[in-house]
Amino acid sequence: MGMFSPYNNREEWVCTNDHPLWSEQEIEFDFQSMTTIFIDEWVNPGRTLSHKYFDEEPSVFALGDSVISFLDIDFSLYNTILNDYVSSNDAIYFENHGCELLDCFIDRLYENGIDHLYFYSLNKDYFFNMRLDEFKKIMYIDPEIIECIHRFIDGLCGMPYHVEHLNEKGANAVDALSDDINILFSDMPFMKEKHYCESIINKKTHIIQGCKFGKRYINNHPLSFCVTELSKMIEANVIIKRCKNCGKYFIQKQNYNNDYCNRKYNQKGQTCKDIGASLQYKNKINNNPILKEYERAYKRYYARVTNNKMSTEDFRLWAEEASKKRDRISAEYKIHPSDQLIADFKHYLGNK
């Protein structure tokens, strides 16, 4: 089973059965069924490493559906909150209001259904830089006190990494969570090279007969996952289209050409596919007075048939002749819009 992250170029080969891993999100792609498989995992936290174990009960989605769903998310509220939060980057202001701001920020993320961005929010430069300024003082603290502080800050993403480097305690003390913030701190001297716990990296894999191996990808950032799955969508020739009704992206299924998605469009539970064609036709009629007049006449003549005032054959002959005249005048109207053309066509149809 291989795991690869586009951001850190790390690939490992391990067994799926009860082998400790420290990754953020494991995914596997199955081209036969055109699915993306999310591997569920449970965590056994250590002091500086979180060992994650696969239970092999994956969540399966159609290939590309996760990316499309991510694109549907409205980030406007998140950006507003984050911009307000980052703008208040004065140390004194943060000291007086930091906890209040953070609690409010996190609460609003959860209330508005974007809790999956919580981790990302904690990795913004402002939030970590403020912490780094404070934790520089740790360099001058007694080692016993440092160990106590470790217990307090181990739960903060990436902080053990910074603390160990600031105290020059060596490469092997670095925890795996450093990858989470690498792209945000790549300009810092101690982020130029990555180091991992050799005892974990070099641990021999226990091979189990019949164990299924496959290539899996580590993604520790929403953008990392999107890039990974998008590359697989391109590899599998997945067709992405924009719905002509709601304007959102969707995936064309099984080479079936369709211009409308399956998202719910109204409170009645109808989807864009259910009502898309009829809505488009109505909009087309409303924007073309020639078609609008023809529709009025068509309904009037059809009512005569249902009331037995006109035969079906006579209606067919009328509709055949009227539709030809409609198409000719409609094409002429598009080139040279004229009220006289509308009036002449209304007179021909008998509309008032």
The per-residue DSSP string of 51-81 comes to EEEE-S--EEEETTHHHHHHHHS--HHHHHH
Does 201 lie in the same domain as 259? no
Residue 63 lies in a domain: yes
Q: Residues 261, 306: one domain?
A: no
306 Cβ contact list (under 8 Å, min separation 6): none
Distance CA 4, CA 261 (A): 32
CA distance 226 to 182: 18
* Start-end of H helices in the chain: 65-72, 76-87, 91-111, 118-122, 125-135, 143-153, 159-166, 198-201, 222-235, 272-286, 289-306, 312-335, 339-349
Helix, coil or strand: residue 325: helix
Residue 312 lies in a domain: yes
Q: Give the three-state DSSP class for 243.
A: coil
Q: Is 168 left (phi over 0), alpha (psi -120 to 50) or beta?
A: left
Judged by DSSP in three states, 350 sits in coil
Phi and psi angles of residue 307, each rounded to the nearest 5 degrees, phi first: -95, 10
Q: What angle do CA 104, 110, 115 make, to 5 degrees?
A: 115
Tokens for 56? 């092999």
Q: Is residue 24 part of a domain?
A: yes
Residue 125 is assigned to a structural domain of this protein: yes
What confidence score (pLDDT) does residue 95 get? 54
Classified as helix, coil or strand, 36 is: strand
Are residues 157 and 61 part of one domain?
yes
In this structure, the answer to whether residues 154 and 40 fall within a common structural domain is yes
Q: Assess if residue 87 is contained within a domain.
A: no
The answer to whether 242 touches 248, Cβ cutoff 8 Å, is yes
CA distance 313 to 297: 17
Alpha carbon distance 173, 117 (integer Å): 28
pLDDT digits (tens, 9 = 90+) for 93-145: 555 554 555 555 555 544 544 444 444 444 444 334 444 444 444 444 445 54
For residues 271 and 323, state if they share a domain.
no
pLDDT score for 240: 86
Predicted TM-score (pTM) of the model is: 0.43
Of 26, 28, 44, nearest in space to 36 by CA: 28
Could you tell me the residue range of the domain that residue 157 belongs to? 1-73+114-235
Cα separation, 171 vs 347, in Å, equals 89
In a domain? residue 79: no
Are residues 263 and 316 located together in one domain of the fold?
Answer: no
**Residue 80 resides in a domain:** no
Looking at the fold, whether 329 and 215 belong to one and the same domain comes out as no
Q: How far is Cα 55 from Cα 26, in angstroms, rounded to an integer? A: 12
Determine, yes or no, domain membership for 344: yes
Do 225 and 248 lie in one domain? The reply is: no
Query: Domains in the chain: how many in total?
Result: 3
At residue 19, the pLDDT reads 32
**DSSP character for 334?**
H
Q: Is 346 helix (H, G, I), strand (E, B) or coil?
A: helix
Question: What parts of the chain have a pLDDT lower than 70?
Answer: 1-59, 78, 81-216, 219-221, 254-255
207 and 164 inside one domain? yes
Are 203 and 339 in the same domain? no
What confidence score (pLDDT) does residue 316 get? Answer: 92
Q: In the prediction, which pLDDT does 103 show? A: 55
The answer to whether residues 146 and 255 belong to one domain is no
| CA separation for the pair 42, 55 (Å, rounded) | 8
Are the CB atoms for 96 and 124 separated by under 8 Å?
no
Q: What pLDDT, on the 0 to 100 scale, is given for residue 141?
A: 46
Q: Which residues contact 240 (CB under 8 A, 6 or more apart)?
A: 64, 68, 233, 249, 250, 251, 252
- Asked if residue 261 and residue 191 are part of one domain, the reply reads no
